[in-house]
Amino acid sequence: MKIALLGFGVVGRGVYDLTKDREDISVSKVLCLEDVRLPDAEVTRNFRDIVEDETIDTVVECMGGLHPAFDFVKEAVLAGKNVVTSNKALVANFYDELLPLVKEKGVRFRCTAAVGGGIGWLSELERSRRAQKILSVGGIMNGTCNYILDSMTRLGLGYDEALKQAQSLGYAEAKPATDVEGIDTWHKIILSANIAFGVSLEKESVPVSGIDKIAACDVEQFTAHGYVCKLLSRAEQGEDGIRAFVQPTLVKQGSLEAAVPLNFNLITFTGSASDRMSFYGQGAGRYPTAYNVVQDLVDILAGKGFYSPYGGKVSARNDGEYTYYVRGEAWDGVTEAVWGEGVITGKVSVEAMHTWRKAHPNAFIAALAE
Of 31, 107, 111, 172, the one binding ligand HSE (CB under 6 A) is: 172
Q: Which is nearer to ligand HSE, 261 or 309 (CB)?
A: 261
Catalytic (active site) residue 188: yes
- Applying CB under 6 A, does 90 fall inside the site for ligand HSE? no
* Rounded least distance, CB 283 to ligand HSE, Å: 5
Of 47, 171, 186, 307, the one binding ligand HSE (CB under 6 A) is: 171
- Applying CB under 6 A, does 64 fall inside the site for ligand HSE? no
Q: Which of 29, 81, 88, 188 is catalytic?
A: 188
Concatenate the DSSP letters of all residues of 71-93 into one string: HHHHHHHHTT-EEEE--HHHHHH
* Rounded least distance, CB 39 to ligand HSE, Å: 30
* Rounded least distance, CB 359 to ligand HSE, Å: 28
Bond preceding residue 207 cis, omega within 30 of 0: no
Q: Which is nearer to ligand HSE, 163 or 196 (CB)?
A: 163
Q: Which is nearer to ligand HSE, 64 or 207 (CB)?
A: 64
Of 7, 118, 271, 283, the one binding ligand HSE (CB under 6 A) is: 283
Residues 234-273 touching ligand HSE, rule: CB under 6 A, are none
Q: Which is nearer to ligand HSE, 172 or 195 (CB)?
A: 172
Torsional class of 198: left (φ above 0), alpha (ψ -120 to 50), beta (otherwise): left
- Applying CB under 6 A, does 128 fall inside the site for ligand HSE? no
* Rounded least distance, CB 84 to ligand HSE, Å: 16
Q: 214-232 burial, b if ≥16 CB within 10 A, otherwise e?
A: beeebbbbbbebebbbbbb
Q: Where are the beta strands (DSSP E) in the chain?
A: 2-6, 26-31, 42-44, 58-61, 82-85, 109-110, 134-140, 200-201, 227-238, 241-252, 264-271, 275-282, 313-314, 321-327, 335-339, 342-349, 364-368
Name the packing angle between helices 183-197 and 95-105 (round to 10°): 40
Cα 112 to Cα 10: distance, rounded to the nearest angstrom: 16
- Applying CB under 6 A, does 328 fall inside the site for ligand HSE? no
Q: Which is nearer to ligand HSE, 165 or 315 (CB)?
A: 165
Enumerate the H helices of 133-270 as residue ranges: 143-155, 159-168, 176-180, 183-197, 216-224
Site for ligand HSE (CB under 6 A): how many residues?
A: 11
∠ at Cα 140 (135, 143), nearest 5°? 150
* Rounded least distance, CB 163 to ligand HSE, Å: 11
Positions marked active-site: 188
Residues that bind ligand HSE (CB under 6 A): 117, 142-144, 171-173, 179, 184, 283-284
